[in-house]
Amino acid sequence: DAKTTQPNSMESNEEEPVHLPCNHSTISGTDYIHWYRQLPSQGPEYVIHGLTSNVNNRMASLAIAEDRKSSTLILHRATLRDAAVYYCILRDGPSYNTDKLIFGTGTRLQVFP
Amino acid sequence: EAQVTQNPRYLITVTGKKLTVTCSQNMNHEYMSWYRQDPGLGLRQIYYSMNVEVTDKGDVPEGYKVSRKEKRNFPLILESPSPNQTSLYFCASSLLGTGDGYTFGSGTRLTVV
């Protein structure tokens, strides 16, 4: 099962950019890289996902290394509302046979005013 | 509104009394899954289902049962709950074969005394 490695915690000041790293050295060619975040007392919320190219959406940007063994979630201007636990996971895109996901413990992001 | 609905949100029960936590999605997703979340352990997958009548074990299936008789519903059954099943439970759903993101429910906090 493909696994990811993330730092336990990170800190940022409000309105500064935040770069959250994730290592996934055992990624396979069909694995998509997903990012989710979980605010206190809520279910995980989808943030962004990608396969090979960098991706942007209204919430964040995803930068994927050329060898795909690591990725970085970029929050361009952190707000207090971005304080959450961020999870990086791998999902086999074309698979109709198995979807056994491993979340890990994620990165707890603290944002200071 | 596209969503995953879990019920109940909170449940306190006694050891050995059978209970069911319901999960329903309105997005015609093939894939559904259950997770439990405990302090310091992150999200761990209990069971998942790739489609109607197709289910498989996740990482922590002991003490749980599931069924997938209809595409929209994926109930989690605890035949004889024990205190070590006190946890926060999440249901999630997704399309298959696209690599797209998961939609999570709001969670069910279960306490077994």
Amino acid B41: pLDDT = 83
Amino acid A29: pLDDT = 86
Q: Let me know how many helices (H) and strands (E) chain A has, helices first.
A: 0, 9
| Per-residue pLDDT tens over the stretch A76-95 | 999 999 999 999 998 876 66
In chain A, whose CA is at the least distance from the CA of B58?
A: A100
| Per-residue pLDDT tens over the stretch B16-68 | 999 999 999 999 999 999 999 998 888 899 999 989 999 999 889 999 999 99
Chain A interface with B: residues with Cβ < 8 Å: 32, 34, 36, 41-46, 49, 51, 87, 91, 93-106
Partners of residue B101 in chain A, C-beta under 8 Å: 34, 36, 46, 49
> What Cα–Cα distance (Å) separates residue A50 from each residue in A6, A21, B13, B72?
17, 15, 42, 27
Answer for the pair A31, A2: CB distance below 8 angstroms, yes or no.
Answer: yes
pLDDT-wise least confident of A36-40, A59-63, A98-102, B13-17: A98-102
Gap from B10 CA to chain A (nearest CA, Å) = 12
Gap from A45 CA to chain B (nearest CA, Å) = 7
Could you give the count of Cα atoms lying within 13 Å of B20 in the half-sphere of its Cβ? 8
In degrees to the nearest 10, what's the CA dihedral of A53, A3, B36, A51?
A: 10
Amino acid B96: pLDDT = 76
Percent of chain B, pLDDT > 90?
81
Amino acid B2: pLDDT = 82
Amino acid A79: pLDDT = 96
Contact criterion met (CB < 8 Å) for B101 and A34: yes
Provide CB contacts within 8 A for A91, sequence distance 6+.
A31, A32, A34, A49, A99, A101, B99
How many Å is the Cα radius of gyration of chain B? 13
Q: Is B108 helix (H, G, I), strand (E, B) or coil?
A: strand
In B60-99, DSSP assigns E strands to 65-66, 76-78, 87-94
